[in-house]
């Protein structure tokens, strides 16, 4: 049983003793003394076609490279190496449909066949090593096949969350210059159809690079098919080209694996670029150590493959460790709030990784729902995406984990690729703190001038050491990579979060310091929300801010200045909310719309969101010296 003392939770010592990291402090010291050596040892646990010459090359910092000269392919380690050993016939992937009537399972062997088939089909569409492929699919097994198939042949996948709308999809396809889009006719969302293919058709009108669209049949309604461009996936799989065998491409460790668009401070979303070698070593090691994962585990990460959490810990991490990954098409409360607990029981999930927002939404329905189920298969719990409030932590720990399972809080980002501030299972935990930097990492809290702040005080979170799964750059934008992450404090990675460190070295994340809003753990940019709003004819100017929300963490509050001739009113507010939903995403739908006469701006014309936020919260407005008249 866990011992709770004050605000610290001490897991049963047996959990730590039997884990992959029985002596975290010892390993932390060893890794700090020789980070490159630590990572080289981890990389040596995986298979390489050719070994690396240099573990870390920092000559061209901040363009760091890892395992330089090494040759591998993440698929060699996520699939191929398991085929030669005892894992061949064990389950790699279990999938359940939203309505619970369809259940599909894949051993490592059958997953390999599916991936090979899709890889051959993608090659037949003219896609070659280095080409980008956009994947816009629901949470169904084909999204896993598509990602791995791209990786296998050396194509670069760009997965777009299937909750984004046509404009968002279009700009991302266009920016990546994808030749091929892989989508489905539709996706199931709480019993209704979200029309993915219609959205692709809309988007592809303005994306000249797209030559082919592969369509997986999921929802079954009629969709328009362009005879020259569109192909049903099930028609392709019966063709002779769709063989179940395909060679895995030999890749340089530093060859790109994927790009993933994420929201930043300004302007259009940026594409984070990750590579085969370092990303593979980083996701493998963090999942193995922090969730103590072994081949006999059934790991359930509830994130969508459209976000980085789905990439690293639903698809790649669990397969790299040889575990079984579980994917559920639906959400936590449909049709009833016992859905997830029922599935934990039914499938014998051993480690369960989700977001604080989901925990808070389940808490509202009460303990009776989880208590109807036998959750004794669980060994470990984890959270990600936003700070967890201690009430939600304790509920998760007590009601779901029955005070047996450590709750592993993991702080990381699309950019970091892998956990950065976290714990391993035997370590004392402080509810609400993400823990300590991962082995080989050091973090600091700095003031504006770059001086470390005293423990307990808030400041900017930075990471001091490079790590293997770090992004290599922003796709097509090296300059922005440097200016955004490495310029404020030269030589240190600026995370974009504010945080505190306590006297025990635990980090407490407070929230974003830039114009990113985390809504239900989803990462959105104020600029994207604002540009969706100003694309409506009634809107002259808009400003979006995040305000605290009990369940979602943050809610979106927008201030809108109307064009001449438009009158504020409930009808227009509703129309604008719908407009954002249709042009950006339903997840970006504003919670409140305020009509304003004008917006507070600096003399150079920048909207002062900080002032809007302070006013909305009734807090002091701070320094207004730069405010225009």
**Residues at the interface with ligand WTA (CB under 6 A):** 262, 307-309, 384-387, 409-414, 434, 495-497, 509, 512, 518, 523
Side-chain-facing half-sphere of 582: CA atoms under 13 Å: 10
Nearest to ligand WTA of 76, 518 (CB atom): 518
Rounded Cα distance between 507 and 334, Å, is 35
φ/ψ of residue 42, rounded to 5: -70, -45
What is the chain's length?
A: 629
Decide: 166 and 581 in contact? Cβ < 8 Å. no
Nearest to ligand WTA of 442, 628 (CB atom): 442
DSSP three-state, residue 289: helix
Nearest to ligand WTA of 201, 415 (CB atom): 415
Cβ neighbour number for residue 383 with a 10 Å cutoff: 25
Q: Which letter does DSSP use for residue 468 in this model? A: T
Token pair 């079984």: residue: 324
For 180, the token pair is 């091929």
Residues paired with 96 in a beta bridge: 103, 328
Q: How far is the CB of 407 from ligand WTA (least distance, A)?
A: 11
Nearest to ligand WTA of 207, 414 (CB atom): 414
Rounded Cα distance between 99 and 220, Å, is 15
Nearest to ligand WTA of 186, 417 (CB atom): 417
Q: Which letter does DSSP use for residue 453 in this model? A: P
Q: How far is the CB of 286 from ligand WTA (least distance, A)?
A: 12
Nearest to ligand WTA of 161, 194 (CB atom): 161
Nearest to ligand WTA of 280, 308 (CB atom): 308
Task: Give CB contacts under 8 A, 24+ apart, made by 310-316.
Answer: 310/159, 311/147, 311/159, 311/258, 311/260, 312/279, 312/283, 312/287, 312/417, 312/418, 312/469, 313/283, 313/287, 313/353, 315/144, 315/147, 315/148, 316/74, 316/78, 316/279, 316/280, 316/283
Q: How far is the CB of 35 from ligand WTA (least distance, A)?
A: 22
Adjacency order of strands within the sheet including 132-136: 230-232, 212-216, 180-184, 132-136, 156-159, 256-262, 270-275, 473-474
CA 501 to chain CA centroid, nearest Å: 25
Q: How far is the CB of 429 from ligand WTA (least distance, A)?
A: 12
Q: How far is the CB of 492 from ligand WTA (least distance, A)?
A: 15
With a CB cutoff of 8 Å and minimum separation 6, the contacts of 182 are 133, 134, 135, 136, 137, 142, 146, 213, 214, 216, 233
Q: How far is the CB of 602 from ligand WTA (least distance, A)?
A: 25
Nearest to ligand WTA of 79, 499 (CB atom): 499
The DSSP-derived string for 511-568 is: EESSSEEEETTEEEEHHHHHHHHHTSTTEEEEEEEEEEETTTEEEEEEEEEEPTT---
Residues paired with 181 in a beta bridge: 134, 213
Nearest to ligand WTA of 214, 461 (CB atom): 461
Q: How far is the CB of 307 from ligand WTA (least distance, A)?
A: 6
Using Cβ positions, the residue closest to ligand WTA within the complex turns out to be 414
Q: How far is the CB of 252 from ligand WTA (least distance, A)?
A: 26
Residues paired with 548 in a beta bridge: 554
Nearest to ligand WTA of 223, 418 (CB atom): 418
Q: How far is the CB of 146 from ligand WTA (least distance, A)?
A: 21
Q: How far is the CB of 389 from ligand WTA (least distance, A)?
A: 11
Rounded Cα distance between 74 and 251, Å, is 9
Nearest to ligand WTA of 186, 317 (CB atom): 317
Token pair 């901040």: residue: 62
Decide: 397 and 4 in contact? Cβ < 8 Å. no
CA 131 to chain CA centroid, nearest Å: 22
Q: How far is the CB of 496 from ligand WTA (least distance, A)?
A: 5
Nearest to ligand WTA of 153, 463 (CB atom): 463
Q: How far is the CB of 499 from ligand WTA (least distance, A)?
A: 8
């Amino acid at each position: 049983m866990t011992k709770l003392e004050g605000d610290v939770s001490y897991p049963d010592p047996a959990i730590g003793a039997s884990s992959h990291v029985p002596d975290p402090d010892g390993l932390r010291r060893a890794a700090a003394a020789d980070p490159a050596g630590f990572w080289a040892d981890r990389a040596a646990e995986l298979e390489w076609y050719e070994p690396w010459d240099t573990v870390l090359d920092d000559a061209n910092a901040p363009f760091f490279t890892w395992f330089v000269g090494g040759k591998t392919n993440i698929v060699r380690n996520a699939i191929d190496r398991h085929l030669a050993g005892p894992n061949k016939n064990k389950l790699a992937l279990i999938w359940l449909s939203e309505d619970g009537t369809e259940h599909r399972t894949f051993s490592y062997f059958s997953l390999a066949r599916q991936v090979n088939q899709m890889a051959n089909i993608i090659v037949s569409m003219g896609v070659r090593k280095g080409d980008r492929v956009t994947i816009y699919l629901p949470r169904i097994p084909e999204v896993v096949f598509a990602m791995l198939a791209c990786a296998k042949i050396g194509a670069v996948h760009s997965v777009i969350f299937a909750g984004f709308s046509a404009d968002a999809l279009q700009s991302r396809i266009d920016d990546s210059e994808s030749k091929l889009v892989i989508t489905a006719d539709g996706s199931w969302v709480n019993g209704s159809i979200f029309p993915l293919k219609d959205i692709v058709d809309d988007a592809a009108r303005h994306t000249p690079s797209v030559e082919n669209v592969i369509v997986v049949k999921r929802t079954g309604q009629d969709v328009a098919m362009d005879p020259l461009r569109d192909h049903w996936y099930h028609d392709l799989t019966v063709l002779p080209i769709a063989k179940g065998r395909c060679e895995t491409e030999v890749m340089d460790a530093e060859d790109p694996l994927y790009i993933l668009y994420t929201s930043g401070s300004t302007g259009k979303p940026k594409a984070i670029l990750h590579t085969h070698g370092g990303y593979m070593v980083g996701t493998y090691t963090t999942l193995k150590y922090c969730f103590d994962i072994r081949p006999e585990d059934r790991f359930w990460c509830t994130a969508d493959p459209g976000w980085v959490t789905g990439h690293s810990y639903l698809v790649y991490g669990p397969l790299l460790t040889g575990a079984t990954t579980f994917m559920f098409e639906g959400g936590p409360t449909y049709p009833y709030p016992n859905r997830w607990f029922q599935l934990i029981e039914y499938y014998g999930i051993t480690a369960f990784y989700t977001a604080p927002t989901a925990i808070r939404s389940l808490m509202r329905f009460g303990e009776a729902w989880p208590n109807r189920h036998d959750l004794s298969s669980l060994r470990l719990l984890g959270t990600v995406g936003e700070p967890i409030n201690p009430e939600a932590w304790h509920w998760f720990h007590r009601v779901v984990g029955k005070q047996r399972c450590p709750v592993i809080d993991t702080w990381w980002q699309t950019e970091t690729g892998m956990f950065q501030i976290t714990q391993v299972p035997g370590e004392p935990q402080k509810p609400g703190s993400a823990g300590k930097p991962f082995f080989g990492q050091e973090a600091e809290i700095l003031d504006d001038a770059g001086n470390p702040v005293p423990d307990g005080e808030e400041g900017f979170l930075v990471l001091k050491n490079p790590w293997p799964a770090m992004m290599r750059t922003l796709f097509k934008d090296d300059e922005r990579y440097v200016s955004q992450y490495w310029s404020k404090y030269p030589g240190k990675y600026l995370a974009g979060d504010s945080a505190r460190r306590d006297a025990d070295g635990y980090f407490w994340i407070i929230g974003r310091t830039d114009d990113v809003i985390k809504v239900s753990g989803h990462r959105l940019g104020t600029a994207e929300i604002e540009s969706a709003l100003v694309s409506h004819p009634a809107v002259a100017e808009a400003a979006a801010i995040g305000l605290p929300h009990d369940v979602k963490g943050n809610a979106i509050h927008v201030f809108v200045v109307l064009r001449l001739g438009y009158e504020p009113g409930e009808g227009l507010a509703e129309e604008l909310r719908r407009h954002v939903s249709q042009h950006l995403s339903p997840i970006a739908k504003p919670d409140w719309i305020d009509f304003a006469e004008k917006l507070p701006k600096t003399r150079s014309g920048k909207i002062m969101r900080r002032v809007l936020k302070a006013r909305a919260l009734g807090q002091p407005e701070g320094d207004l010296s730069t405010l225009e008249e």
